[in-house]
Every structure is written in structure tokens, then in C-alpha cells.
Structure 1
Amino acid sequence: MSSFSETDLRGHARLSVAPMMDWTDRHCRYLHRLMSRHALLYTEMVTAPAVLHGDRDRLLGFDPAEQPVALQLGGSDPAQLAEAARIAAAYGYAEVNLNCGCPSDRVQSGRFGAVLMEEPALVAECCSAMIAAVDIPVTVKCRIGVDEQDPAQVLPDFLEKVSGAGVSRFAVHARKAWLQGLSPKENRDIPPLDYDLVLQMKDRFPHLHLSINGGIATLDQAEAFLAQGLDGVMIGRAAYHTPSDVLLEADARIFGNPATITAEDVVHRMLPYTESHLSAGGRLHQITRHMLGLFHGKPGARKWRWALSENAHREDAGIDVVLNALTHVSSLAVAE
């Protein structure tokens, strides 16, 4: 069972790394935890039926060093979600989060993700069932609306109904999702962001813990949103592609807990974890693909990426590949 209280998690949620399909797997999260001791980390979305019927250790297994980590679930069946949440709690997750924001066709056909913005009563029922099933917090990640909905009407109604079921913490992607005519990739960029609406929701629902998500790329932006009264900031792609810029300074700037760790230190601290993964039959690229952006903007970054990309896929690739790549960006390396 999780040892994190809701108070603990509200503190950690001042900065979180968004759940991202194909990216925020266990190796990514282990890397990110080395860079920030405090940020709240999320899994990729896992559907409730997959949890119930799939390979649970593969889908849900994680290293305790990743904590605090939340499992994001996809689904719309209250009974399935309640059982999936129960299983997640038994695995030790600190939180269960319901996905009401993903716009992909596959998600729509399964009646979950962003399409649930059209059914707040069902979301409330799902959350109520999960809350009754577990002792860990149940949270929701949502959009401001979908398709032709008016976010100024839809979002407050959604927050009121779902919080009425017992949810007190939401991460709001401040962009409408277009379920028809736009790809998931386009849905990350094309509909306009409406940060002001999310800020208004904090004024309207001061008792709720609201994190803002969508298009946030820097700690400067994160600090600005926190200064305006929001409770948390959730960063997605920037935390993945430029993790050093976002996470290495997060503990000092967001949590007031300075740490002196460099990207080079992080690589060295990843080595025992990587060796353990390889000895268990894993492949090097499964870990190093998440490390490509570690030295973004630094001398040698291009050679670092090239050395890993070219060599980590080899069947015999070991940590020597990482150490060799590191020579291009170490403190002794010359600038490109």
C-alpha cells in the first residue's frame, strides 16, 4: 500500500510530469525521479480491462524508487475501474487518475478519454466507485471541453459534478479536444489554449486542487502559474524532450529543496539500474531512448544523441555504449 497521504501528494503535485503514451514507462520514470525527488510522476494510460485481464506485472510493475507515482486508468465502466483501482492500490501506487482527456480514435471507440467530457455524470459515477474501492486518492485529468462544447459552461459543470463524487484534485489540459477531424498530434497544438479559463476555475472552486497542463515548457511558466494561485503545474513534452531544463532545477525552484545534481551525475546513477535491466534480459535502447534529450542545448549534445541512437539497438549493447556517449558531453569534452 502507498505511504503517501493526500497532503503529501498535494505538495508533490505542485509540479508533475504528464502521463504520455509510449513515453512515461517505468524506465522514463526512474530517470525522471533521479532528476527530481519531489515531482509527481504518472504512468502511461492503462485501460481498466487491460489491468483486469492482461499481464499485470508488465503493465503495472514499477521500481519503488519511482515514488510518488500515480497510475492513469482509461475506462468508463464503474465496476471495472473500481477493480482496476483496487489492483493498483495493491501494487503500491500512490494515486489513481482517470483519463478524461485523450482524444485518440481508439479511446473514443472505447468510450473513454476526452469523450467523457460529454458525460460528467458517468465520470462522477466512475470516480465514486473507485473512491469506495481504495484508500488512495482518485484524481482526474480532463480537457476544457470537446468539439462544439462551450468550455466556459462545460468545464465548471464537469468540475462541480465530478468533485461532488469526492474528487478534490484535477489536472486540466487547457485546450479543447476536437474528436472529429483532428489527429491526436494535431490536438496537442491546434485548438487554442485557454489558460484564463483554468485560472477562473480556481477562483470559482477554491477548495479544489487544480493543476494546469498544456503547452507549458519551462519552469518560468510553471512559477508564474503558481504565483497566480494555481495549485500545480503539469508538464508533458518539455519534461520528456528537455528533462534537464525542467527537472534538474525543479526541486530548488518549485519545492524549495535545492539539490546539486547534474545531467552527467544522472547518467552515472542510471548505470546500476541499466545493468540490472540488461541482466534480466532487457535491451539497452529501452532505457536510453528516454535519455536522448538529457544534454539538450549543451556542447556535445548532438554527438551524445548520435552515439546512443546508432549503438543502443545492437543486441550486445551494454553500458559501455552509454559511457562512450558520455565522453562527448562530459566536463572534459570540447564544444561541438
Structure 2
Amino acid sequence: MTKVSSTLAPTGGRTRGGLAWCSRYGALAAFGVLLALNIVLTPYFLSLQTLNINLTQVCTIIIVAVGMNLVIATGGIDLSVGSLMAISGVLAPMTFLGQVVPVGNTALAVALAIVAAIGTAGLLGLFNGWLVSRFGIQPIVATLILFIAGRGIAQVLVDGNLQTFSVPQFAWIGQGTLLGIPTQAFVMAAIVAAALWAMRRTRFGRYVLAVGGNERAAVMAGLPVRRIKLAVYAISGLCAGVAGLVVIAINSASDANQIGLGTELDAIAAVAVGGSSLGGGQAHLLGTVLGALTIQLIRYTLLANGVPDAAALVVKAGVIALAVWLQQAQRRT
């Protein structure tokens, strides 16, 4: 019996190590393989135009996924981000077009619109956190409220109508470039950098991981668990607000029916594929960015090679399922 145990132990250790490596670095490996395949197979893949297309499609997901990663790190989930994007996306043009408060100066109106839209999304995120931390409502239930009601609010604000606008000072957020790179990529990079700094260099980051790792122990240690939960849901709301502005700036139009639709699922997928445990206690932000890029590159690769978008969605679902399976298998070993 002793011999059997000693023989199996190294194998079990290698298995755990292999699963851990796949869960943590699988997205990096997949991204590298996809890059190589596209360089060989996809015409003009290395062009600046292709880079800009992919950045335009993935930046908003990364922005939302950053906030989602912080929420998941505390053991929660936020299903409302897509609806908060819609609220932000309709409130901004209502503001800078003078439908809320008449403002003569366009630059001032745009600044007011940005603050109002992002601030409102942040407050609604805070509401989610209040439900979770004050009443102990399960996060999936608490955020389901605004997932449903939030988009309805956005539709009511504009009577379900499409809003179009031509305001260059605002459209620059989504259509402008700097050194040939879309402006939104710099917005995304700034948010990722700020989150990385907060998680790695501040007490807040350590508290977030402690709450998600073992909430009861965090309470017994005297950590401000309720405030941490309030903070991460508010941050998730703020990120959704920013993403909503980017989406409407790209299109110079705001459609409450479509803004942010399904983004909550893409954000959760990016977190899972990036190696962060959906059970909490981890926040691999760079992995989340890589997860979002990998999912986007899978879709682009398939579409560029003639595979229908419906099939691309099935492949994306398979990648997400694999990422979740790896996490579960790692826990069982």
C-alpha cells in the first residue's frame, strides 16, 4: 500500500501542476498559436487596419472585464453591466444634446455628459453592492434586478428610439486615433493600469482577495468586508459606464436596445479564460486582458477564413467551457 501511494503521489502532483499551468497560462498559449496561424494563413493580418479592427471590438469588453474581475475576486458576479452600459449610452447624448439641461458650450456639455453618464452607472453599481453587502442577497440575484430593469430604464428614457448625433468632441473617444492607435485603446490601457496598481500595491487589493478567498476569516480579522463589496460593484458600474460611452462614440449613435447586449457574458468569459477562479480569491487582470484578446482573435480568425459567425460563437462557448472545466478539475485534484 505504501508503495502504491509513493508511486501515485508524483503523478498526482504533475497532474495538479499541469492543470494549474493550463488554467493560468492556457490563454497565453492559445493566443500565441492563434497569432502564428493568422500570420501564416490570414492575408493582411499584420496590417494596422486589422489591429484597429480587433482593438475596436475588444476594448469595451476588456474595460467591463476589469470591473467584473474585481467583483468575481470577492466571490460575486455582476450581470447588470450590459444594462448599465445602455443607461450610460443613452444618458450621455441626452445630456450633451441639451435634453436634460441646456448647455450652450459644446465642450462643457460633453464633459457634463461624460461625468453624468459614468457617475450614474457607478451609483447603480453601488446599488448592486448595497443589495449584496447589506442584505446578503446572492450576487447573481441582486444584479439580475438591474440586468432586467436597467435596459428597460434606458429604453424608457428615449422611448425606445435610436439617437444619432454629430459631436466631434465626443466621437473622438471612439473614433479618434493617437499614433495610429484608436483612442479607446488608451482609455482601456489606463483602466487596466489603474486596476493593476490598486490590486498589487494597495491595501484595497489585498482586502479584495482576502474577502473572496475566505469571507468568514476576513470578517473575523476585522476587514471592512461590506465596504470592499460596495467598492468593487461601484467600480464595475463605473467601468460599464465608460464602456457604454465608447460604444456610442464609435457609432455616433445610441440604441438602448443594443448597447452592451451580451457584454456581461463576454466579460465573465474573459475572466474565466484568463485564469481567474470564478469562485473568488483571484484577480489575474493581465490574464483577463489576454482572455478577452484570445476570444476576440478566435472569432476574427474564424470569420477571416470564411467560418460563419454562428459557428464562431459555438467555438467561443467551447473555449469558455474548457476554461471552466480546467478550474473545476484543478480544484478536485
Give the TM-score taking structure 2 as reference length.
0.26
- Looking at secondary structure, tell me which structure has more helix per residue: 2
- Looking at secondary structure, tell me which structure has more strand per residue: 1
Give the TM-score taking structure 1 as reference length.
0.26
